[in-house]
Structure 1
Amino acid sequence: MNSTLLLAQEATPEGVGNPILNIAVFVVFIVVTMTVVMRVGKSSGESTDFYTGGASFSGTQNGLAIAGDYLSAASFLGIVGAIALNGYDGFLYSIGFFVAWLVALLLVAEPLRNVGRFTMADVLSFRLKQKPVRVAAAFGTLAVSLFYLIAQMAGAGSLVSVLLNIHEFVWQALVVGIVGIVMIAYVLLGGMKGTTYVQMIKAVLLVGGVGVMTVLTFWKVKGGISTLLDDAVATHAASDHLANKGYEATQILEPGLQYGANLTSQLDFISLAIALVLGTAGLPHVLMRFYTVPTALEARKSVTWAIVLIGAFYLMTLILGYGAAALVGPDDILAAPGAQNAAAPLLAFELGGSIFMALISAVAFATVLAVVAGLAITASAAVGHDIYNGVLRDGKSTEAEQVRVSRITVIVIGVISIVLGILAMTQNVAFLVALAFAIAASANLPTILYSLYWKKFNTTGAVAAIYTGLISALLLIFFSPAVSGTETSMVPGADWAFFPLKNPGIISIPLAFLAGWIGTMVGKPDNMDDLAAEMEVRSLTGVGVEKAVDH
């Protein structure tokens, strides 16, 4: 393997760094975090401990963990690269991800914590018929979690070429397998409690590392934001990338470089923005974090802390993106393995050399581990708590049985995500992430909002909304240019696309809301007025939160 690494290193730009040093830092981080997981995860034998960490975390701790769960490698590497190449339009991703948290805070954080216990399905089925709603919600949760997991695993494989200078498919696949195995170990050994501590550590390292890079960027350009932007324009003006694209260098400071060329691209951006902003409040692995705190007040506090950390992070991506444009340049970024995903690592090497590059690489790698661990917990809860306990055992399974089924699910989901992640390494990872957000916004959020805020909402409406959102999002993506019809599609040699947009949110989200309304209007009432009244009181006041929600 050493000879392979050395050959790969000779064939790549010097700025990628030292792969052996990166591996060493990765191993140290894994050993340290695994030790933490084993120490804090000893009490994960009961479902409360495994799913929610015993609801023992403070709002501040949970805010750090939410930030660690939300800030994936795509946020760090992808957005920095997008800004470096597309300027203003790349920063729109940061804005969308950040604004999404306001929706989560205002609409779902506190009532969700008041009504639920372990999973999103607890809320959706509180005053509705248990089995059909739990099955539908579990399908939605599994779809979002699996596609998010595949994206992270595939991202780990693609990042290998940037961080470790490995070009061969076999070695990239091996690393994806290692990530999956470590993720499975994290969850099995530590449950939600161990995973939460890993996410807290990762959030501090990521935000701290980005902060240091921001300060060093200003020091390197010897000026403020205006100097940085001027240098970025000058670097773009001297690049071959500018000549190939045929745009003015100053356009990286203006909207429309990536989106806005025609009506289709404008609608595509609106569709993506809707999916990102609304999808966050429907992401099951994020929603599940609200149950790891003891009270609704702490849930709101945790989201507030998450907003501060996530907002600061995304604001700093603007500096890092233009910093990569100014100090590295679009030509070197596109020439490196990983293309625009290499922008952040190359900037780290430019700012601090091989050691700093190794540290930032380790943080990026740790980001993948933390996110996939949280997703695995969510998927396991959907099977163990919602399907096995709520549907197959009519809520009568023991705590140990639920945890055992959940642990088996973690292994199965982990293996599936490893295999599909390896197969998806050469495909569009951003598409997989967008699909997860689109599914969450389409299937999950309409049903959550209807359940919390519409007294007349019934089981027929819930099932209709979930399945309509889920199926329409999947079908529209499958028949979009993201899958076929263009050179950058997942299947470039075929063309069955008839839906012109790459993101289905602008269609699938309204369809889900409409289906929920129609289903409620034509379906029979559930005649659970007493539970509906209890749900309203609990969601608004928190009275009775300690009661179990299974009925």
Structure 2
Amino acid sequence: MTGSHQTLALVLFSVFVAVTLGITTWVSRHRQGSAEEFYAGGRLFSPLENGFAIAGDYMSAASFLGISGLIALYGYDGMLYSVGFLVAWLVVLLLVAELVRNCGRFTLADVIAARMAERPVRIAAGSSSVVVSVLYLVAQMVGAGSLVALLLGGTSEAARSWTVVGVGALMVIYVSLGGMRATTWIQIVKAVLLMAGTITLTVLVLLRFHGDVTALLSTAAERSGHGLDFLAPGLRYGGDWTARLDFISLGLALVLGTAGLPHILSRFYTVPTARAARRSVVWSIGLIGGFYLMTIVLGFGAAALIGPGAVRASHASGNTAVPLLALDLGGGAGSTGGTVLFAVVAAVAFATILAVVAGITLASSASVAHDLYRSLRRRHSTPYSEVAVARFAAAGIGAAAIGLGLLARDLNVAFLVGLAFAVAASANLPVLLYSLFWRRFTTRGAVWSVYGGLIPAVLLVLLSPVVSGSPEAVFPGLDFHVFPLQNPGVVSIPLGFLAGWIGTVTSPEPPDAARHAETEVRALTGAGAV
């Protein structure tokens, strides 16, 4: 890339970072010592504000960079991510949002512990939430590294590594100083910028083809090298039974995983009532639905105008398809329009990453402090000590995400998020649904459900082609994989539900009918909700 690209994009990066740091500094002047203020922003956000914040939290680097890249490389099969991410919100709206807001205070463990023995449940749910959050953070780190490596010439490993470190440092600052209130406003600003940038690119792609979607798809198929197969299922997930089962596994993870993501569940606590939580989800579905429809246009636009070969040459997994598309739409390399549009899109993508990592880090640090620390130090913990622990936890989680992000830097970010969704659907969703809807559910069932989904999901990922045994693996020179699928969801999700059922039916203690009745009334009516 030319010096003008680098200078303009870096200026825009700096402007966004300065604005978000300004928001964080301004918010930190208000009282952040109470747990309710730090974890939930005082529950003062309106449904519209929270809906934009949820959309900002959810539309991550995986959505903007990863999905478009997969569509540009694999056509129809890449659209599975767009469809799965969107359909998942129906599960959240119909089964989770309102009940979670009524039953909990700050974290997933609050909902489960409402009718269980607190300590084992909080330790299990808190551990699971941290694992899911770190996996999700890794995807954002990889996206940031890919973006800045493209900006600085595409081969700068040192720049990519320092970018990952810089993003990690910024997210720790956002969370430690500003808490939920600063994080929410950063996500709102990011959602507006991302929607504006995506709409602009979509309109420019359609104008290039004079509004003829058929011409867009035909050109994409011709340049793909696969012909009409590019527009049909099977290019990535076709062929043998392993690929087809991987398709089913990924679909299950995407549709069921959203309802178990800690940073999404924590957003329901930032509004005053359950009705407001439900309305927040409706607003977010509208924004997210429009966004994912546009990623399909951007993916096929990149295939048609850039070509999968050029996209793959820039980044093997396609993470740089959208910035390259912006460069072409603006007039090509060296043009003023191309320089400006590329820089704007790069800055928006970087803003996307910063906002999402802030939300994830806040949710995971809340799990460490509110669940793990509170369980292990029950007699000595106070709301103020919890907040202090959460701030220190943000630094530790950031360090772990930085290390893993450096290892996984060549993987597609949408694919990495798919792994996080699989772990969330395996460990968090079963225990959440059982707690809300099964009267006989017990503490043993809750603990077994979490670990029965979490441990198999993580082990299957470690023993899969994602880590070793393939050219695209984290360790391509090693081969210790024994599990053939890249996504563990089709195995680990049923195991999570099965473990919860077995733990409950073999539990020596009877279910607490009184506590369940109390929880059920609070979940359905909001009576007694915080």
Question: With structure 2 as the length reference, what TM-score do the two structures score?
Answer: 0.95
Counterpart AA for 1:99: V
Among candidates 173, 189, 201, match of residue 213 of structure 1:
201
The structure-2 alpha-carbon separation of the partners of 1:234 and 1:435, relative to structure 1 and needing over 3 Å to count, comes to closer
Amino acid at match of 2:212: G
User: How far is 1:433 from its partner?
Assistant: 2.2
CA distance in 2 between counterparts of 1:197 and 1:434 reads 26
Matches within 5 A, 1:83-482: 83-236=71-224, 242=225, 247=226, 249-337=227-315, 340-352=318-330, 353-394=338-379, 397-426=381-410, 429-482=413-466
Q: Is the 8 A contact 2:149 2:160 kept in 1?
A: yes
Which moves more between the two structures, 438-447 or 77-86?
A: 77-86
| Corresponding residue for residue 5 of structure 1 | none
Q: Which amino acid aligns with 2:371?
A: D
CA distance in 2, matches of 1:297, 1:203: 23
Cα deviations by residue, 1:209-264 (Å, 9 ceiling, x for unpaired):
1011111111122232122222223333xxxxx2xxxx3x1122212221121221
1:67-114 deviations in Å (ceiling 9; x for gaps): 111111111111111111211111111001100010111111110000
Identical residues among aligned pairs (%): 53
By how many angstroms is 1:524 displaced? 2.3
Give the residue type in structure 2 aligned to 1:362.
A
- Cross-structure match for 2:64: 76
Residue 473 of structure 2 is aligned to residue 489 of structure 1: yes
- What is the alpha-carbon distance in structure 2 between the residues aligned to residue 145 and residue 415 of structure 1? 13
Return the offset for 1:423. Answer: 3.2
Distance in 2 between residues matched to 1:463 and 1:178, nearest whole Å = 37
Aligned Cα root-mean-square deviation (Å)? 1.7
Cα shift readout 1:146-184 (whole Å, capped 9, x = no counterpart): 111122123212222223435222221111111111111
Q: Is the 8 A contact 2:154 2:314 kept in 1?
A: no
TM-score normalized by structure 1?
Answer: 0.92
Shift in alpha-carbon separation, 1:264–1:420, aligned structure 2, 3 A: closer
Question: Given the alignment of the two structures, is residue 24 of structure 1 paired with residue 11 of structure 2, yes or no?
Answer: yes
Deviation at residue 503 of structure 1 after TM alignment: 0.8
Q: Whole-Å Cα distance in 2 between the matches of residues 358 and 121 of structure 1?
A: 42
Hey, what's the Cα distance between the residues in 2 that align with 1:18 and 1:431? 28
Deviation at 1:474, TM superposition (A): 1.1
Aligned partner of 2:396: which letter? V
CA distance in 1, matches of 2:449, 2:183: 32
Q: CA deviation at 1:331?
A: 2.3
5+ long unaligned stretches in structure 2: 331-337
- The CA deviation at 1:371 is 0.9
1:483 Cα shift?
1.7
Give the aligned residue type for 1:414: G
Long gaps (5+) in structure 1: 1-8, 237-241, 547-551
Letter in 2 for 1:142: V
Q: Which moved more, 1:324-333 or 1:106-115?
A: 324-333
Is the Cα–Cα contact under 8 Å of residues 127 and 372 in structure 2 kept in the other structure? no
CA distance in 2, matches of 1:290, 1:186: 20
C-alpha spacing 1:279/1:535, structure 2 compared with 1 (3 Å): same
- 1:64 is aligned to 52
In 2 relative to 1, CA 450–267 (structure 1 residues): closer, same or farther, beyond 3 Å?
Answer: same
Q: In structure 1, the residue corresponding to 2:318 is in which secondary structure? A: helix
